[in-house]
Copies of this chain bind each other. A is one copy, B any other.
Amino acid sequence: MSENPTACLLVIGNEVLSGRTQDANLNYVAKRLGELGIALREARVIPDVPAVIIGTVNEIRARFDHVFTTGGIGPTHDDITSECISAAFGVPWEIHQEAFAKMNAAYKTGDFNAARQRMATMPRGATLIETTASIAPGFSIGNVHVLAGVPRIMQAQFEAVAATLQGGLPIIMRAVHGKGVLEGAIAAGLSAIQDRYKTLDIGSYPYYRPAGGGVAIVAKGTDAPAAEAAIREVAALMQELGGSPVPGEPPA
């Protein structure tokens, strides 16, 4: 996977750190980036604090091919992502003429007030991310893609960006699970399989269900035949240990 582009997700919002809101964007972005062949290498949740946003954006945009941010681009005082991105890039935060014209046309006369005009205020040089999911667009600047926090809008904006990105080989996952199989019993054999399939990430995940638990083994990588071969070896290993391997992830 080392040749695939890399990405980092930055979730901006006090509400996730306070526990008020359960983030739903990471899982969506993670799955979709995998399908696009872009490796999500890190995700961070940070508060609505300018110095933290600016510092974090500058650190991670240098380290990853793509940065996606979610949250903080609405009209209220706690929506400060856009001006912080301007500060991070050292460019003026100013009315984006195209965004302003489109939003002005979309709102009823008198409704495009100062608060909403802030949503048309962006770092100089920003490219709009337009969707039918919201009147206010997201935007990209450099390798940073600035998306809404509301999942429905975020997903539409993510897909609009995704259509413009050069991905790599899709990152696929193959799995097998064994009811009653214990991690501690399978560990040594599993480690030997991982050693033979160095291009894969093989993960071991115990699961617990009312009807009984077990372990799920997942092989992840860009080489589907290798992942399938590795999972066949894991299944054989489970069988050797007296387990009954079943292809795929355990049912929820």
Contact = CB atoms under 8 A, between A and B. Distances in A.
Interface of A: 13-23, 26-32, 34, 40-48, 52, 74-79, 111, 113-116, 118-119, 150, 152, 171, 173, 183-188, 190-191, 194, 201-206, 208, 218, 220, 249
B46 A19 contact: no
Given A173-B20, A183-B74, A114 B30 contact: no
A77 B15 contact: no
A45 B96 CA distance: 34
| Total identical chains | 2
Contact of A184 (B42, B78, B111): B111
A76 B45 contact: no
Contact of A26 (B23, B48, B76): B23
A42 B44 contact: yes
5 contacts: A15-B203, A17-B41, A74-B204, A76-B190, A77-B194
Closest 7 A-B residue pairs measured CB to CB?
A115-B187, A19-B30, A19-B31, A76-B204, A77-B191, A43-B45, A116-B184
